[in-house]
Amino acid sequence: MSTVTDDFEPQEKRQNGVRFRGPVVLRRGQVQESTTDQRLLDTRGPTEWLHSDPWRVHRITAEFVEGFGALAELGPAVAVFGSARALPDSPEYLQGVEVGRLLADAGYAVITGGGPGVMEAANQGAVKGGGTSVGLGIELPFEQGLNDYVDLGVNFRYFFARKTMFVKYAQGFVVLPGGFGTMDELFEALTLVQTRKVTSFPLVLLGSAYWSGLVRWLRESMVADGKASPADLALLTVTDSPAEAVRLIQGQNGHRAADESAAFAEKVAAERPSHHGPRGDGRSERG
């Protein structure tokens, strides 16, 4: 009669001085006297592993899981970016409130970085418009918490996990004047569209006085020197009107929905079994 011990195959076992730890083989100086379970249960052990890369993988995975879970049922949404330093009486703050309100009126949830300035303004506008106000915060040494207008907030340690949420759940970006962080988010999305990692993703720059210098440099330096094509530059649209920005988002999303519907109809038609017989006369083989 076998016992539980007889049938148990330990996760770590020795054979002729070689230790097998799952799929890992350890020899000579790599062999440890304690087992994985012993080290797990030892509360007196070192805690440096908390800061090791394998442990970070679990943290990163957890951030994606939390983000996906929180936003999966969000519905149509648009991300609004801009400076965290914009004051409440500044033109960009007031425009942020207006664009957030108009997006909510149009049926979009508004996603921001959750901070102050333009982010707070867009969240405030979303609340005023009766829409869903989302903030995706980031752990920074100098950043405040989520602003008071965020109704659904998710905090992140890692920029790349946070950026994934913006691109995955937004149907477009409205970008107001901002600094390095705003530029990072803008060019991240621009690169994804240019390389066709995402398609039909409108990028609207709000505030021609601020953005015209950048667009001019892109045209006269980058495009003129052959580092980008005129079609790449056409991926950006500049306007001074929050209402026009929302119309541009709606228009491109409407085209995308129509394209997706047409593609789906073509796929269904192609997969539908033919009712014609082998002679193509509409009769079955038995007819």
pLDDT of residue 3: 41
The SS3 call for residue 237 is strand
Supply the pLDDT for residue 140: 84
Residue type, 65: V
Q: What is the pLDDT of residue 39?
A: 67
Residue 163 structure tokens? 């950026």
Q: What is the model's pTM?
A: 0.74
What sections of 138-276 are H helices per DSSP?
A: 159-169, 180-194, 208-217, 230-233, 242-271
Q: What are the start-end ranges of the E strands in the chain?
A: 12-15, 18-21, 24-26, 77-81, 109-112, 133-138, 152-156, 173-175, 203-206, 236-239
Strands 77-81 and 236-239: unpaired
pLDDT at res. 155:
92
Domain boundaries, the chain: 63-267
CA distance readout (Å), 141 to 42, 103, 114, 138, 154? 33, 31, 15, 10, 17
Mean pLDDT in runs of 10 for the chain (287 residues)? 41 52 62 67 72 83 96 97 98 98 98 98 98 94 85 94 97 98 97 92 97 98 97 96 97 61 55 51 40
Look up the CATH architecture of domain 63-267. 3-Layer(aba) Sandwich (3.40)
